[in-house]
Structure 1
Amino acid sequence: MKKHTPSFCMLLALVGSMAAASAQHLAGPGLGANPQLPAPDKGALLPTVNIAPALGWPEGVVPQAPEGFKVTALAAGLDHPRWVYVLPNGDVLVAESNKPAPAEGAKNVHADGLRGKAMGMVMKRAGADTPSANRITLLRDADGDGVAETRETFMQGLVSPFGMALVGNQLYIANADSIVKVPYESGQTSISAAPAKVTDLPAGANHHWTKNIIASADGSKLYATVGSNSNIGDNGLAAEEGRAAIWEVDLATGSKRLFATGLRNPNGLGWEPESQALWTVVNERDELGNDLVPDYLTSVKDGAFYGWPWSYWGQNVDARVKPANPDMVAKAIAPDFGLGSHVAPLGLAFSDGRMPAPYASGAFIGQHGSWNRKELTGYNVVFVPFAAGRPSGAPVQFLGGFLNKDGKAHGRPVGVALDAKGALLVADDVGNTIWRVVRAQ
């Protein structure tokens, strides 16, 4: 197996660098079970654009965790790491991925036209426009010091891979256009078998390209997230067919059905430990003002419609969407818990009791950060406490310091997961690092 010389971030881990901060209870509009919603701001011809330019992590600087926790770099120097998945033997898989390249012969035009082109330039400034590595990397920390001394290319040649799920001896990967599978044996550090397609997923222009998956408890089904093709159906509803939804895939047959719809861009998925209900985090629509529309955390009900594109937070009509559809609006249900507007929640991992109080029961959420807001928000990992299977209090910031005082981004959190020892792993796609947060001994 390969051995890699630790980067400066790993050296920080070796000396047990600690980043301590008081837990910050978050307050403001768009938070909680019944957020107060302001009137929509129709806005100007072009949207408010304010995104933190990508800076990277200076030597000696790491994210800030609450007092009593230690932050180390499990691995640094990765290529746009978006998602993490922990295998039963403790190995960590990292999807190094970005948006798909245009199909051969296709024009390189963003799904949102001229406005999309302008946004593409902004995203490049934010470190979000690099070519996709199309790779899954395996990390192994055999000696338990919080630094992966083994790093191997586990799979390559994928199509903007994101979500992963192991069911028995089959590893499933969500590409931008399909779910594929490969055989896996515990301890493997690389896969040479060609992936077999399980089912196609809606793709095309792929405005929201990330596809996540999670397996049911009995391993018979996968649930797959598919984001919308646009902000509010800008490219016509035909381009949204099968999108803004969560699909249920039968692994025995490969057949699938729509499980829930009207979810503009669902990403993280998790089974809440007490109720065993499926939950997700969703990026809502833009360009209605600084404090609209709240992104959210919600349980996912079979057959439910959550409003997109015709309405938001239940039956609040978005008058921009034409033609109107009052019948669909009447069916829309409100989500469970607002996270604030434009925070861009992507990662979701439920605490399973291995974290100390007050983090023993609840949801960790990786928030990628805003672009359509005058004041930056998100760019952190928050914790929402749960009791009796439901959110039970205001969110608190669990991991911060991703923005510097000048509003530039050292990093941006995406996927989160609990590792084999109960530490929180955070994929940072601007800092190109997998951070590990553990209670200090």
Structure 2
Amino acid sequence: MRKILKYVLLALLLILIVGGITLYIMSRPDVARFSTAETSGRVPVMGAQDAQTIPTINVPEATSWPAGQAPRAAAGLTVQRFAEGLDHPRTILVLPNGDVLTAESQSPPRDTSGIEGAVMSKLMTKGGTGRRPSANRITLLRDADGDGKAEVKSAYITGLNSPYGMALVGDTLYVANTDALLAFPYVAGETKMSGKPVKIVDLPAKGTNRHWTKSLAAAPNGWLYIGVGADSNIGEKGMNREFRRAAVLEVRPENKYMRTFAAGIRNPVGVAFYPGSDQLWTVVNERDMLGSDLVPDYLAEVDEGDFYGWPWYYWGGFVDPRVEPEAEDRRQYVRRPAYALGAHTAPLGMTFTQGLDLGERFANGALIARHGSWNREPVSGYDVVFVKFGANGKPAEALPIALLDQFLGKDGKTTRGRPADVKVAKDGSALIADDTGGVIWRVAKAG
């Protein structure tokens, strides 16, 4: 009997040792073989797939900006605090009179039960979000004396539900909450919204609402285009939960009509129209858990009926083996993105540089705020970059160049802030929303 017990104990010990070794190997971070530059541009390197059961987790600890410190601007430019003391400024809208609106927002309350929910909650807290409830407001900032600092800071609209996208069309201000598109009567010069909202349409927010942001752009004809992220990584919770998700939606406010404009786009966050045209562009956060080199986030044109492949395909037709094949193979119809922005860089806000007065180096292109990775070794993003466009209205061959960086600490283990949006101010400077830093930065010509 003692011999049997001894063998049982040895067997259990062996199982524990093997299981521990297996878990250790599975949880080891996948170190990138290619640089962010190599996984960027019009023809990025496509690394080998490394399907993961446990994702690479590499989240820098969020700290705050010490007094007198700021991110680094490109040569010949200066950076200063346009506004500070904000509660997670996520997006920016510059109004015709020069006033600036910023949506102070975080994700709505999440289900933190279970292992996945608890892990995500911990990672978000470490990365600087989720430490307190969303402010759920839009704040108005005004620099009346032109010194590059907002001396007026007013709660313009309160009581919202994780607001994100904003667009002004005529005298109507549209605000995209996480669950609905609202319309407010806009009166120039007001520091507090006096009118009441009208709901235009409901927006997808059921399930986990994993990708909660609802970005917004207005077309020249007044129709609205809303970027809606997937409720999952690769549809693993069932594609029935992805109705009108992983898509750009078209809304016609005059009759409250909504339809899917383009699909297969995992998480289209920033959306904007190329100046002087009706060509819509978006920046997209691609899928996770294929390794540190895959998949590149990207910048893409969006036309009616486009299909960018999610969840079955990525980058124009590469097959994701983790996803059950489509009943009807559409691989030949997958559109390839125009420009890669590096693997896991998490591009959020974008704007075109019309009206920007930062010199010829930053003329005719797109500015993109890369929020930064949580699942790549080494980390990537944590900067604002410029992508040059050619005379044909498409990205040029050149790689992105940094407008503003060093949000990440020198050790790569901490952040002072995380860029979330970028817009062009009325005076030609660039305004950058620093989500976890609570600052709106202003980049202008030196002197």
Pairwise CA RMSD: 1.4
Q: Is the 8 A contact 1:353 1:360 kept in 2?
A: no
Q: CA deviation at 1:332?
A: 1.2
Match of 1:8 in 2: none
Alignment of 1:188 onto 2:190: yes
Provide the secondary structure at the position in 2 that maps to 1:115. helix
Separation in 1, partners of 2:108, 2:152: 28
Q: Establish whether residue 69 from structure 1 lines up as the match of residue 77 from structure 2.
A: yes
State whether structure 2 residue 425 is matched by structure 1 residue 419: yes
Please say if 1:404 is aligned against 2:409: yes
AA in 2 matched with 1:410: R
Q: TM-score by structure 2 length?
A: 0.89
Match for 2:424: what amino acid? Answer: L
Deviation at 1:224, TM superposition (A): 0.6
Shift of 1:33: 1.2
Q: Which residue of 2 aligns with 1:126?
A: 127
Contact 1:418–1:425 at 8 Å: present in 2 too? yes
Match of 1:271 in 2: 273
Q: Distance in 2 between matches of 1:157 and 1:181?
A: 14
Partner of 1:313: 315
- Tell me, what secondary structure is at the counterpart of 2:360? coil
- The total of aligned residue pairs comes to 407
Q: Deviations over 1:393-437 (max 9, x none)?
A: 211111001011122100000011101111111111110000010
Q: CA deviation at 1:119?
A: 2.2
Alignment correspondent of 2:20: none
Deviations 1:341-369 (A, max 9, x none): 00000010101153311101110000000
Answer yes or no: is 1:349 the counterpart of 2:351.
yes
Structure 1 residues 155 and 274: CA distance shift in structure 2, 3 A: closer
| Cα deviation code 1:120-157 (max 9, x no counterpart) | 21111111113100000000000011110001000000
> C-alpha distance in 2, partners of 1:417/1:132?
22
Residue identity opposite 1:85 in structure 2: L
Q: What is the match of residue 437 of structure 1?
A: 443
**1:420 partner amino acid:** K
Q: 1:216 to 1:169 in 2, by over 3 A?
A: same
**1:172-321 residue pairs with structure 2 within 5 A?**
172-204=174-206, 205-219=208-222, 221-273=223-275, 276-321=278-323
Structure 1: tracts of 5 or more residues without a match: 1-25, 103-107
Separation in 2, partners of 1:156, 1:79: 13
Render the CA deviation track for 1:267-324: whole Å, top value 9, x for unaligned: 1111112654111000000110111000000111110000000110011111111254
CA contact (8 A) 1:80 1:98 kept: yes
Residue type at the aligned position of 1:273: P
Distance 2:381 2:327 in 1: 32
Residue 78 (structure 1) shift: 0.5
CA drift at 1:60? 1.5
Note if 1:394 corresponds to 2:396.
no
Q: 1:58 aligns with which of 53, 56, 66?
A: 66
User: Paired residue for 1:367?
Assistant: 370
Contact residue 95 and residue 136 of structure 1 kept, 8 A: yes
User: What is the CA distance between 1:243 and its match in structure 2?
Assistant: 0.1
Distance 2:272 2:64 in 1: 29
- 1:97, CA displacement in angstroms? 0.3
Q: Which has the higher helix share?
A: 2
CA drift at 1:440: 1.7
Aligned to 2:42: 33
Q: CA deviation at 1:325?
A: 4.6
Question: For residues 50-129 of structure 1, what are the structure 2 equivalents within 5 Å?
Answer: 50-101=58-109, 108-109=111-112, 114-129=115-130
Q: 1:194, 1:353 → 2: CA distance?
A: 32
Q: CA deviation at 1:245?
A: 0.3
Instruction: Give the unaligned 5+ runs of structure 2.
Output: 1-34
Q: Does 249-258 or 348-357 show the bigger shift? A: 348-357
Identity, % of aligned positions: 50
Residue 27 (structure 1) shift: 5.9
**Structure 2 residue matching 1:387: 3-state secondary structure:** coil
Query: Would you say the 8 A contact 2:270–2:348 is kept in 1?
Result: yes
Secondary structure at the counterpart of residue 329 of structure 2: helix
Maintained 8 Å contact 1:27/1:394: no
1:7 equivalent in structure 2: none
